[in-house]
Structure 1
Amino acid sequence: MSESSRMQRPALPKVSRRLRADDCIVVDKKELRRAQIGAGIGNFIEWYDIGVYGYLAVTMTAVFTEGMDQSMGLLVTLFGFAVSFIVRPLGGMILGPLGDKIGRRKVMFFTIALMAGATTLIGLLPTAGQVGLWVIVPLYLLKMLQGFSTGGEYSGAATYVAEFSPDDRRGFMTSLLNSGSMLGFAAGAAVVAATSVITTSAWGENAMLAGGWRIPFLVALPLGIVAISLRSKIPESPTFEAAREAAEVGEVHPMFVRHNLPNIFRHYWPQILIGCALIAADGTSGYMLTSYMPTYLEAEIGSPAVHTAVAAVVVLVLQAVLIPVIANWSDKIGRRPIYMIATIGNLVLLVPAFALMHVGTMWSLYLSLFMVALPSAFFLAMTGAVMSELFPTASRYGGMGVTHNLSISIFGGTTPLVSQILVNTTGNHFAPAYYIMFFSVIALCATFKLRETASRPLLGSVPVVRTREEALALAKGQDENELLDTSTMLLAPVPARAPETSS
């Protein structure tokens, strides 16, 4: 970071900042487990809704745009995705700084209630046949509420889990959020498929149009109740509490100041640029797999929809298993090597994967999807940890909310649309692969500017450990430990001793 972009620090007296064992936060295993589940269920519900809406798109077109041209109606329905992404950055910009002010737990409680409520209400909307095409308006409004809540949900959950996790397990712990996301998407697709089979068997071929489509959305209500119950029992992040207590007694210098949105951009623009570059590659790679591949395989390859859906669920479940394995690896070898594997993996595997899709067999379908999913798993394994590690505790929720949501909305959410436009305008069936590879090159360049953060305390935080013995060992060996930098920690200053003189 250049001198002009650094926060100006006031002159401080000559003091030494020594880490004591009592300064370290020793995580309670039971509370950590409760925090992990309480935070993770929000991502599950978020992606459950994306899966349900995506796999019901054709049915919802008939339900909400009855009387409209079918091709136009499909665009109107799919625009529901776009409106949710339009307001997602707004959610991050408002809810992120709010979470830095009042706490992670309170904002996460709000986001899960809003998300589950909006999804449930979609299942209660009247149809166009009942009230006319104006029903699209409340549908879009509810999708906007979902997008707003999502803008604060993932960044809040990742911040919360990162601050709750032992430093040497932070990659693994935060990666479980994205594993939950993949399982949520797979669950949404599975619930739609199961609902379709059951309702049509019981009430005939038109059962989904007659009301069966509502069931997957209404399932969000019990899921939401469970999530709210779990989140009502989770404690506040210990790192946030420690930072707030220190601020109240005046132990603050500029790194530990809670910044508003303009100052987040002013002080942390280098981190924001690095984060946006990484998330652009992460998002385009991920949304290519989850949101565009079904359309591409059906429209360009002619793969039957049922084969595509089953293959997508299988690959997503496999990816959900791989993500924490890769993240655990990153805790040992570092974040930067994992990002390099992810970016180079896209550059090497995507073109062969798209070529393999055109073989048109079942084995080529599964193998090609796995080749697309593998680099994406490496990206997703890093998202929660690295985005949390870019910013200090006082402004972490706000910084991550801005960075993640801006990039994922501009680049990730537009991937299906841009990919299809590229195919249509160029006539090149490999164009989507080249599009993802472009962002992977940018992310690879950003990786060289990324500070290595694996197993290090979060900026603005004291070390988080699993046992008292670990805390004692850190305090004893702090002078030789390259992973510790006490200047980034909230520690009580100890006056430096005057040098001894001979008598």
Structure 2
Amino acid sequence: MPDASTVRRAVAASAIGNATEWFDYGVYGVSVAYITYNFFPGEGGTLLALSTFALSFLVRPLGGLFWGPLGDRLGRKRVLALTIILMAAATFCLGLIPNVQTIGVAAPILLVLLRMVQGFSTGGEYGGAATFMAEYAPDKKRGFLGSFLEFGTLAGFALGSLIVLLAGLAIGEAGMMEWGWRIPFLLAGPLGLIGLYLRTRLADSPVFRELEEIGHAESSAGTALKDLFRLYWRPMLTMAGLVIALNVVNYTLLSYMPTYLEGQTGMDAQTVLTIMFLAQFAMMLVIPFAGALSDRLGRKPMWYLSLIGLIVLAVPMYLLMANGFWWALLGFAVLGLLYIPQLATISATFPAMFPTQVRFAGFAITYNVATALFGGTAPLANQALIDATANPLIPAFYMMGACVIGLIAVSTMRETVGASLRGTAIPETGKMPVISR
């Protein structure tokens, strides 16, 4: 078992790397107006910008199919080093693309290609980082330590909002439209190098090293995907239902909210960015406590609390947000804090659904397929439905529907609190042996 110092470094490497990945999604979400102006000017430009956001998610299942089995065969560390290099490089290059006024249609084409590279790398990043962290964490503290991966996610979103806000205050809206929007994308380069450095300083997870010692990683390479779909289709379906709820809420709140508030309430960009940063910062402060609570109460009670709370309060909070800055901040914060019990526990819950030899692949494939179909498309779907119906409560209804699917999935989920991640599955049953640490 690794010592406490090694575990802390593993947590830091996973969280900082994950923050780099999600920094891009945070920046893109709060920069839709700038992206529209520079790449999709004219009528329907916002929908095209949101479609480009969604497109990167459609590539993620391909990334999961590629990186997942590779991570189960070659190790978590090697794959995570590659994914962070790809993501940081693609985000950095996005900040260098000339706009449509300069190079014409080549500008949006380059934007789409780089977003596809980002989606492909993210297809291996999140499942790999969660698996890596979960396999390092002691069983009784997996919820608490795993929550720091999501702390990194929120930190990436919050940092993106903060940098765009500060840049806008420094150079003004006109400067942001012309060239300032590039600044946060260019910062992804040095952030990626920091994450890469931290990750390469660690050995692979102790659980994976045990698998290597018995030679199972190499011998199962040819049949890993077959075994995954044959033996573990039930946990894959359960996880898919949880991911639908998780990511519809995630991308409706954290990525689409700036577009929604600017379009539906008439708030200016700086006001919206202030709301986003303050609420995301509050969520960051709470998430480790929620993770620790899940180690005591269990993962399922946390999910039930979050899902039911969002179903009950989504519409009231969206009605509240239409009444000005403080009400918008309160409404967004309430929904964000209700979302935390889900977000805080996924890094502990999802990896425990699969045995070591298919854990990376099972997580990456299931997570990314469900996210591609429902999560990354949430901003586009919300905007299209609002345009079609003129109903500003569409995002609330969309989240509520996803949470109902999540409730069904939770009811079929096996409680994973305290379960060991060591060992491989018993082929006849597909069940993990319980080996305490």
TM-score by length of 2: 0.92
SS at match of 2:43: helix
Q: Per the alignment, do residues 450 and 355 of structure 1 end up closer, same or farther by CA in structure 2, a change over 3 Å counting? A: same
Alignment partner, residue 133 of structure 1: 105
2:354 counterpart of 1:379: no
Residue deviations 1:247-293, cap 9 Å, x none? 3699x9xxx88843343122211001100111111111111111222
Alignment partner, residue 45 of structure 1: 20
2:247 counterpart of 1:279: no
Conservation of the 8 A alpha-carbon contact between 2:47 and 2:380? no
Conservation of the 8 A alpha-carbon contact between 1:32 and 1:165? yes
- Unaligned residue ranges in structure 1 (runs of 5+): 1-25, 463-484, 492-503
Q: Per the alignment, do residues 75 and 288 of structure 1 end up closer, same or farther by CA in structure 2, a change over 3 Å counting? A: closer
1:101 shift after superposition: 0.3
Please identify, of 365-374 and 293-302, the stretch whose mean Cα deviation from structure 2 is larger: 293-302
2:200 counterpart of 1:228: no
Alignment partner, residue 207 of structure 2: 239
Alignment partner, residue 318 of structure 2: 354
Alignment partner, residue 77 of structure 1: 49
Alignment partner, residue 428 of structure 2: none
Conservation of the 8 A alpha-carbon contact between 2:47 and 2:383? no
Q: Per the alignment, do residues 54 and 429 of structure 1 end up closer, same or farther by CA in structure 2, a change over 3 Å counting? A: closer
Give the whole-Å Cα distance in 2 for the aligned partners of 1:438 and 1:186: 27
Select which of 175, 179, 183 maps to 2:155.
183
Give the whole-Å Cα distance in 2 for the aligned partners of 1:112 and 1:310: 28
Alignment partner, residue 361 of structure 2: 398
Letter aligned with residue 327 of structure 2: S
Select which of 256, 259, 277 maps to 1:292.
256
Alignment partner, residue 339 of structure 1: 303
Give the whole-Å Cα distance in 2 for the aligned partners of 1:344 and 1:107: 37
Conservation of the 8 A alpha-carbon contact between 1:278 and 1:443? yes
2:91 counterpart of 1:119: yes
Q: Per the alignment, do residues 291 and 350 of structure 1 end up closer, same or farther by CA in structure 2, a change over 3 Å counting? A: same
**Hey, which of these two has a bigger chunk of helix by percent?**
2
Alignment partner, residue 174 of structure 1: 146
Give the whole-Å Cα distance in 1 for the aligned partners of 2:221 and 2:114: 35
SS at match of 1:287: helix
Residue deviations 1:218-267, cap 9 Å, x none? 111111121111111011000001022123699x9xxx888433431222
Q: Per the alignment, do residues 417 and 128 of structure 1 end up closer, same or farther by CA in structure 2, a change over 3 Å counting? A: closer
Alignment partner, residue 183 of structure 2: 215
Give the whole-Å Cα distance in 2 for the aligned partners of 1:195 and 1:308: 14
Alignment partner, residue 444 of structure 1: 407
- When the two chains are superposed, the root-mean-square deviation of aligned CA atoms in Å is 2.4
SS at match of 1:308: helix
Q: Per the alignment, do residues 244 and 342 of structure 1 end up closer, same or farther by CA in structure 2, a change over 3 Å counting? A: same
Please identify, of 413-422 and 237-246, the stretch whose mean Cα deviation from structure 2 is larger: 413-422
Give the whole-Å Cα distance in 1 for the aligned partners of 2:95 and 2:393: 38
SS at match of 2:345: helix
Select which of 315, 322, 326 maps to 2:290.
326
Q: Spell out the pairing of 1:465-476 with structure 2 (5 A cutoff).
A: none
SS at match of 1:71: coil
Give the whole-Å Cα distance in 2 for the aligned partners of 1:241 and 1:452: 26
Give the whole-Å Cα distance in 1 for the aligned partners of 2:432 and 2:279: 43
Q: Per the alignment, do residues 295 and 56 of structure 1 end up closer, same or farther by CA in structure 2, a change over 3 Å counting? A: closer
1:181 shift after superposition: 0.9
Q: Spell out the pairing of 1:28-39 with structure 2 (5 A cutoff).
A: 28-39=3-14
Residue deviations 1:172-195, cap 9 Å, x none? 111111111111111111111222
Give the whole-Å Cα distance in 2 for the aligned partners of 1:357 and 1:64: 30
Give the whole-Å Cα distance in 1 for the aligned partners of 2:307 and 2:383: 22
Give the whole-Å Cα distance in 2 for the aligned partners of 1:304 and 1:370: 19
1:32 shift after superposition: 1.1
TM-score by length of 1: 0.81
Residue deviations 1:428-450, cap 9 Å, x none? 43332222112212221221211
The percentage of counterpart residues that share the same residue type is 39
Letter aligned with residue 38 of structure 1: A
Give the whole-Å Cα distance in 2 for the aligned partners of 1:121 and 1:424: 32
2:229 counterpart of 1:265: yes
Conservation of the 8 A alpha-carbon contact between 2:68 and 2:128? yes
Conservation of the 8 A alpha-carbon contact between 1:259 and 1:394? no
Give the whole-Å Cα distance in 2 for the aligned partners of 1:373 and 1:56: 20
Give the whole-Å Cα distance in 1 for the aligned partners of 2:350 and 2:392: 33
Please identify, of 387-396 and 417-426, the stretch whose mean Cα deviation from structure 2 is larger: 417-426
1:304 shift after superposition: 3.3
Q: Per the alignment, do residues 486 and 155 of structure 1 end up closer, same or farther by CA in structure 2, a change over 3 Å counting? A: closer
